[in-house]
A and B are shown apart, each in its own frame.
Chain A
Amino acid sequence: GAVVSQHPSRVICKSGTSVKIECRSLDFQATTMFWYRQFPKQSLMLMATSNEGSKATYEQGVEKDKFLINHASLTLSTLTVTSAHPEDSSFYICSATLVDTQYFGPGTRLTVL
């Protein structure tokens, strides 16, 4: 139980394009999902908290106009990286909360050329 999926697992795009990443809770409903970014050999950096039906709460220093988050249903949250640039290349991981525990997706490797 408590399975979270992400799609795509890998994406390569050209600089200036937008990329959408989906995060789904497969066997439970999640009113809250989180989006993280992870750099090589480092811990996770929280980008934003996503609540179903309301605007996401972004961490300090995260550009909300660049990283658009939508949480339209209890099982789906999306992160759109707009006008991506090479510095946005990273490993993006989502999590969904069930009761008091966060369950993580497998991550999406974004490479911007």
Chain B
Amino acid sequence: GDSVTQMEGPVTLSEEAFLTINCTYTATGYPSLFWYVQYPGEGLQLLLKATKADDKGSNKGFEATYRKETTSFHLEKGSVQVSDSAVYFCALSDRYTGANSKLTFGKGITLSVRP
């Protein structure tokens, strides 16, 4: 079945540091890929997505590129802020089942940014 693997956490960075969070996936077919962010005590917010190979999703300074050859969707940000402290989830969905597509999540990784 489909699966998503995220790097182990937690990750602690200083403000303005460069961020990379690794995500690789296993899927049959051509999934859509997502990064969601969860702030303490809240639900998940869509951060960015990509629906086909070589697509780059971007939002709020975060970027991720859909790499079919390496089955990866690594999240990057050039300069993190304290407000970026949260849990980040990588996820995929099977596009062929349309609106009923279930999300397969990675385990999530906690990012803490210190001033």
Q: Is A8 an interface residue (CB 8 A)?
A: no
Q: A43-B106, A43-B108, A100-B93 are in contact. Are A107 and B42 (CB under 8 A)?
A: yes
Q: B42 to A100, Cβ gap below 8 A?
A: no
Q: Considering the complex, which residues of chain A in the window 76-106 have a beta carbon less than 8 Å from any beta carbon of chain B?
A: 93, 95, 97, 99-106
| Count of interface residues, chain A, beta-carbon cutoff 8 Å | 27
With a 10 A CB-CB cut-off, give which of B32, B46, B51 has the most chain A CB atoms: B46
B residues less than 8 Å from A100 (CB atoms): 32, 51, 93, 95, 98-99, 101
Within 8 A of A (CB), among B61-105: 89, 93, 95, 98-103, 105
Report Cα–Cα, A32/B100, bound state, in Å: 6
Pair B105/A49 contact, Cβ less than 8 Å: no
Contact of A106 among B34, B43, B51, B98 (CB under 8 A): B43
Q: How far is the CA of A43 from the CA of B98 in the complex (A)?
A: 23
The digit string for A32-67, where 1 denotes a CB below 8 A from any CB of B, is 101000000111101001010000000000000000
User: Are B44 and A93 neighbours in the complex by a CB distance under 8 Å?
Assistant: yes
Contacts of B41 in A (CB 8 A): 107, 109
Which A residues touch B32, using CB under 8 A? 100-101
A31 within 8 Å of B by Cβ?
A: yes
Is B36 a contact of A104 with CB atoms below 8 Å? yes
Whether B12 is near chain A, meaning CB under 8 Å from some CB there, is no
B contacts, CB < 8 Å to A: 32, 34, 36, 41-46, 49, 51, 89, 93, 95, 98-103, 105-108, 110
8 new A-B contacts at CB < 8 Å, known A93-B43, A100-B101 = A6-B43, A42-B107, A43-B105, A49-B102, A100-B32, A104-B44, A105-B43, A106-B42
